[in-house]
Structure 1
Amino acid sequence: MFSYAAIPLDTLINYGEAFRDFALATSVNLFYLFGYAYWLESVFLLFYVRSLIYKDFRLKRQDLIFLLPLLAYVLYHLDTWYFLSDADKLLQLQQNYLGNEALSQRFIGLGRECFRLFCAILCLQELWRYQSKLKDNFADLESVDLNWLAILVFGFLFIRADAILVSLALFSSFEFNHQIDYELLGLISNYTVLILISVLIFFSLRFQTGLSGIWQHPAASSAESDKQLPDEASIQHIKSYMVEHKPYLNPLLTIDSLATQLHLSPRTLSQIINRHFQQNFFEFINQYRISESQRLLSDPDLKHINIIDIMDKSGFNSKATFNTLFKKRLGLTPSQFRKQQLT
Structure 2
Amino acid sequence: MDKTNLLIIVTVISLFISLFLAFFLVTVKTKNKLSNSIFALFLLITVVDTIEPLFNLMFDGPSNLGMLRNTFAFLQIPVFYLYIVSVCYSDFKFKPKHLGHLLPFLIVNTVLVARFYAVDLASKINFINNRQDMIEIQFTHILFHLQTAVYIIAVFMLLRKAKKLYLENYAGTSVTSYNWLFQFTIVLTVLYLITLFKNIFKFSDYPYISEWIKIGLLVFQLLIICWYLFKALNHPDLFRNIDSKLKLVSDIISEEENSELAVNEEVYQEELLKLKMYMTEEKPFLNPSLTIQDVSAAIQIPVRDLSILINHKLEQHFYDFINTYRIENAMTILRDNAKSKVTVLEILYEVGFNSKSSFNMAFKKHTGQTPTDYRKNL
1:3 aligns with 2:45: yes
Shift of 1:46: 0.9
1:327 aligns with 2:367: yes
Shift of 1:312: 4.4
Q: Could you tell me the TM-score, scaled by structure 2's length? A: 0.69
Q: Which of 128, 135, 143 is matched with 1:104 structurally?
A: 135
Which letter maps to 1:211?
F
Which letter maps to 2:351?
S
Which letter maps to 2:324?
Q
Shift of 1:283: 2.7
Q: Which of 196, 210, 224 is matched with 2:224 structurally?
A: 196
* CA offset digits 1:205-244 (Å, max 9, x no partner): 4445421233444234323234253845654543332222
Number of residue equivalences: 320
1:163 aligns with 2:195: yes
Q: 1:229 is matched with which residue?
A: 263
For the aligned residue pairs, the C-alpha RMSD in angstroms reads 3.6
SS of match in other structure, 1:55 = coil
- Give me the whole-angstrom Cα distance separating, in 1, the residues matched to 2:349 and 2:51: 53
Q: 1:17 is matched with which residue?
A: 57
Residues 262/71 of structure 1: CA separation in 2 closer, same or farther (3 Å cut): farther
**Is the Cα contact below 8 Å between 1:42 and 1:119 reproduced in 2?**
yes
Residues 98/7 of structure 1: CA separation in 2 closer, same or farther (3 Å cut): farther
Larger radius of gyration: 1
SS of match in other structure, 2:263 = coil
* CA offset digits 1:37-72 (Å, max 9, x no partner): 111110110111121123344556765554332232
Q: Which of 243, 246, 264 is matched with 2:280 structurally?
A: 243
* CA offset digits 1:110-153 (Å, max 9, x no partner): 21134224323432333344444543244354663345433432
Query: Which consecutive unaligned segments of at least 5 residues does structure 2 have?
Result: 1-42
- Give me the whole-angstrom Cα distance separating, in 2, the residues matched to 1:61 and 1:236: 47
**Is the Cα contact below 8 Å between 2:172 and 2:353 reproduced in 1?**
yes
- Give me the whole-angstrom Cα distance separating, in 1, the residues matched to 2:195 and 2:102: 20
**Is the Cα contact below 8 Å between 1:110 and 1:164 reproduced in 2?**
no
Query: Which consecutive unaligned segments of at least 5 residues does structure 1 have?
Result: none
**Is the Cα contact below 8 Å between 1:172 and 1:180 reproduced in 2?**
no
- Which is worse superposed, 108-117 or 194-203? 194-203
Q: Which of 170, 181, 184 is matched with 2:212 structurally?
A: 184
- Give me the whole-angstrom Cα distance separating, in 1, the residues matched to 2:179 and 2:94: 25
- Give me the whole-angstrom Cα distance separating, in 2, the residues matched to 1:210 and 1:260: 26
Residues 143/273 of structure 1: CA separation in 2 closer, same or farther (3 Å cut): closer
Overall identity of the aligned pairs, in %: 21
- Give me the whole-angstrom Cα distance separating, in 1, the residues matched to 2:237 and 2:336: 39
Shift of 1:170: 2.9
* Residue correspondence of structure 1 range 16-95 to structure 2 within 5 A: 16-20=56-60, 28-58=63-93, 65-82=100-117, 84=118, 88-95=119-126
SS of match in other structure, 1:218 = coil
- Give me the whole-angstrom Cα distance separating, in 2, the residues matched to 1:197 and 1:305: 42
- Give me the whole-angstrom Cα distance separating, in 1, the residues matched to 2:195 and 2:137: 12
- Give me the whole-angstrom Cα distance separating, in 2, the residues matched to 1:9 and 1:179: 19
